[in-house]
Structure 1
Amino acid sequence: MLLFDGVCNLCNGSIQFILKHEKNSDLKFSAIQSEAGQKLLSQYSIDPEQTNSVILISDGVVYTESDAVAKVAEFLKFPYNLGSYMKVVPRPIRNATYKKVASNRYKWFGQKESCMIPTPDLRNRFLQ
């Protein structure tokens, strides 16, 4: 399950990229702002103020910040799955970069008034 900021243009663009380039249709998605997203945050005791945008829950493990990005890359086709090798960079450096982008995402990429609405053929991949 990939939780994302549903009003963030960067996040929505990233979801579209993932859908286009994933190996299989294994990932499910939910906007953090949605009822399902809020339930998952509560279920896994995740403080959304501490994570600042992308959260991946895979096999019961919660990945945040650059760890989430690296883990999501594993779901992608070549060459995009090479992003998983970013883990060779020390976590403090990866997370500093992640936090810089995350804290400026609205300023740099803009935001929407509301969460994206999936097309009918993708609706089963998104929890509301």
Structure 2
Amino acid sequence: MTRPALYAYRRDAAVPAFDDALPIIIFDGKCVLCSHFAAFVLDHDNHGRFRLLAAQTPLGEAIYRHFGLQFGNFDTYVLLEDGGVRVKSDAALRIFTRLSFPWSLLAAGYAMPRPWRDAFYDFVARNRVRWFGVRETCFVPSAADAGRFVQ
């Protein structure tokens, strides 16, 4: 994926306007592993640094399409931060970096070359549904966490 200009999605008529003041994690809301990761972020993001968005929402779909990602094949987290986008291992490591200790220690993964990190990420992504399954409906946050989701 080529690096688009910062905040380019704001100028894309196909992407509805949304609040992007905080980093947003876009995840597969039907994947059990991805939904558990979203719940993990909610539990361990003690400073409320992240907001979440299921890829299966109209906004999630528009963002996927804007960045040239194949909608329906949610094989990566998408992290929107400061107008930029991160995917695959870069997204995962950046998320862990911003979580509280001890999870922030996983940033040590940046020491591994990106092709190796992404190969491992892709291996898990290809097998996640087989290993962990899918939900019948998208992940729905608790009432207490609803404000952490992009509407």
TM normalised by structure 1 equals 0.91
- What percent of counterpart residues are identical? 33
Higher relative contact order (CA 8 A, sep 6+): 1
- Cα distance in structure 1, aligned partners of 2:101 and 2:70: 31
- Cα distance in structure 2, aligned partners of 1:76 and 1:60: 20
Say which one has the larger Rg.
2
Q: Which runs of 5+ in 2 are unaligned?
A: 1-23
**More displaced stretch, 114-123 vs 98-107:** 114-123
Judged with a 3 Å threshold, the aligned counterparts in structure 2 of structure 1 residues 11 and 51 are, in CA distance, closer, same or farther, namely closer
Deviations 1:50-90 (A, max 9, x none): 87131101111110000001100122111100111211100
Matched, 1:36 2:88: no
Picking from 27, 30, 53, the partner of 2:76 is 53
In structure 2, the partner of 1:117 is: 140
| Letter of the 1:59 counterpart | D
- Cα distance in structure 1, aligned partners of 2:74 and 2:34: 14
* 1:1-128 mapped onto 2 (5 Å cutoff): 1-42=24-65, 44-48=66-70, 52-128=75-151
Question: What is the CA-CA distance between 1:41 and the residue it aligns to?
Answer: 2.5
Please tell me the root mean square deviation across aligned C-alpha atoms, in Å. Answer: 1.6
TM normalised by structure 2 equals 0.78
Q: Which runs of 5+ in 1 are unaligned?
A: none
**More displaced stretch, 60-69 vs 47-56:** 47-56
Deviations 1:2-28 (A, max 9, x none): 000010000011111111111310211
In structure 1, the partner of 2:13 is: none
| Letter of the 1:38 counterpart | E
Runs ≥4 in structure 1, deviation > 2 angstroms? Answer: 39-42, 48-51
Where 2:143 maps in the other structure, the secondary structure is coil
